Chain A
Amino acid sequence: MAAKSIISRPVYGTLSPQPGKHHLFVADAEGALAITDLAAKAPDGFFADAHIIFIPGNEGQHVAALEALKPAQLYQGPTFASALPRLKQTLANAHMGLRLYLAGTEGLIGQAMQAALEAGIDHTSIQTEHRGSLARRVQCVHCKGITENVTTQPATCSHCGLLLLVRDHYSRRLAAFQGVCINAEDRSEIPPTEEIFR
């Protein structure tokens, strides 16, 4: 779990079953394990009103574990982008009583939360749990391009190529951390790259 450092840095919890009429889960990779852990604490019949949107990733693990929960719907998408229209559609048609649970990487949680906020859900009423990779979604403050799955410090912006210091400053609106040029004074100065957001 990510440590709390500065105020804008999101803090994640542990999923727990909430009272509600419908339950919508969005998870990637190991986020599935947060759902199965919740299932152990959930009342009988909880998943009969549940809809799971799952992005298993390259390894394609944990699908069977989710199927075993017998949710009303289980959707699998290759990427978050491909699942987004379905998430938006579900939220647009939803009524009060729908509860939202997000589990997995920060990039997934942040982007799903962004869609939920647009649909009128308050971020404090969303359940989140961080699982799996610490890879970050980073916005380059110079070109505004977003680079996904950043694991190193510094990182190269995939849009403009600047070498970025990945800050802990997080924007809920963009669902991304801020990346600031690390060698603006002298581009020939290249600090060593370390892999730290695994």
Chain B
Amino acid sequence: MSTGTTKLDVVVSDVVPVNELVTRFHFRRRDGQLLPTFSGGAHVVVEMRDGERTRLNPYSLMGSPLDTREYTISVRRDDAGRGGSLFMHRHVRRGHEMVISYPVNLFSLDLRARKHLMLAGGIGITPFMAQTAQLAADGGNFELHYTCRTASLGTYADLLRQRYERRVRLYHDDRDERIELDRLLSSQPLGTHLYVCGPSGMIGWVCDRAAALGWPAETVHFEHFAAPQPGAPFDVTLAVSGKTIRVGEQQSLLEAIEAAGVDPPYLCRGGVCGQCETNVIAHDGNFIHNDHWLSEEEHRSCKKIMPCVSRFEGRSLVLER
């Protein structure tokens, strides 16, 4: 695979429907050994062999970091998405042999914090499943606020309430329950760190309010699983490897580069980690930067691109790789 990631050969040891949209998958190592240790907030990249295509999707590990006999992920079916979650739901069964990456943590707890305030939206609950398990085991101080559309789509909400009782607050959109964010943020003791995972609108809202209310940037952590956006197909030339390839409508630039047999580095596949950064050698057209890694200035300079999420529209593009 890539820089910083190594593969694990696993077998699907269980597939459990959780609600109408979410299914949980359990993985064990094929050789029966323990899986590598991880910390709450880590994700793995799951390789899916879908006919000719290989899909690579990142999913947060949601099991307790104290139990490495198996890894568990929860996949929310996205009928309008690019097909990775549908593939998992439709084709992956117990006994399936799969390949996943070693865990990578881009959303780790800052253990210097006096208190951990967690805000989850929808399927954004998964990294918190592992983080709360990790903190609860050490007597850590945390509080989790979880918004979901309806009670039946509150994935693991009952389990969390049962495990942590009053440390978990639930909000249901269909009952018009909203987090009183400003009050919540302003009443936290000094030394609290904030963690947000959910839809990008929620992340933006929480981060903006936190900054305005005086939370230093170092105390605010967020995890964003942006799937690559589809767009018009375009051609790209890879200068070092001497290949010219076409990026399909539903394909990311990173996926097209991989399909061409080049092995570029990546960790998050969501435009946040910086691993896949690539130099632009020449271009005639416009970049559609969807990443959260490059600065605005870098976006304007047109000298770099993050191929995991960003696209191009125009006549010609030459990248280094």
Contact = CB atoms under 8 A, between A and B. Distances in A.
Contact of B218 (A18, A21, A125): A125
A94 interface: yes
B211 A120 contact: no
Given A97-B213, A97-B214, A21 B190 contact: no
A84 B190 CA distance: 17
A95 interface: yes
Given A18-B214, A94-B190, A96-B213, A120 B185 contact: no
A124 B188 CA distance: 19
A125 B219 contact: yes
Contact of B219 (A94, A119, A122): A122
A179 B213 CA distance: 42
Given A19-B212, A96-B213, A125-B219, A120 B188 contact: no
B188 A95 contact: yes
A177 B215 CA distance: 31
B301 interface: no
Contacts of B213: 19-21, 96-97
Given A96-B185, A96-B219, A121 B190 contact: yes
B190 A124 contact: no
| A contacts with B: majority SS | loop
A19 B214 contact: yes
B111 to A, nearest CB: 12
* A95, A98, A119, A124 — most chain B CB neighbours (10 Å): A95
Contact of A99 (B112, B188, B214): B214
B191 interface: yes
Given A19-B211, A96-B185, A97-B185, A122 B216 contact: yes
B186 A95 contact: yes
B300 interface: no
A21 B214 contact: yes
Interface string A57-99: 0000000000000000000000000000000000100111111
Contacts of A22: 214
B113 interface: yes
B192 to A, nearest CB: 5
B170 to A, nearest CB: 23
A124 B216 contact: yes
Contacts of A125: 216-219
| Chain A contact patch, size range | 10 to 19
Interface string B197-223: 000000000000001111111110000
A97 B186 contact: yes
Contacts of A96: 185-186, 188-190, 192, 213-215, 219
* B113, B191, B217, B218 — most chain A CB neighbours (10 Å): B191
B211 to A, nearest CB: 6
B190 A120 contact: yes
Interface string B151-191: 00000000000000000000000000000000001111111
Nearest to A122: B218
Contacts of B212: 19
Interface of B: 112-114, 185-192, 211-219
Interface of A: 18-22, 91, 94-99, 119-122, 124-125
Given A95-B188, A96-B185, A125-B217, 15 more contacts: A18-B214, A19-B212, A19-B213, A21-B213, A21-B214, A96-B192, A96-B215, A97-B214, A99-B214, A119-B191, A120-B112, A120-B189, A121-B191, A122-B216, A125-B218
- Lowest 6 A-B CB distances belong to which pairs? A120-B191, A20-B214, A125-B216, A97-B214, A120-B114, A96-B188
8 contacts: A19-B213, A96-B186, A96-B190, A96-B215, A98-B190, A120-B189, A120-B191, A125-B218
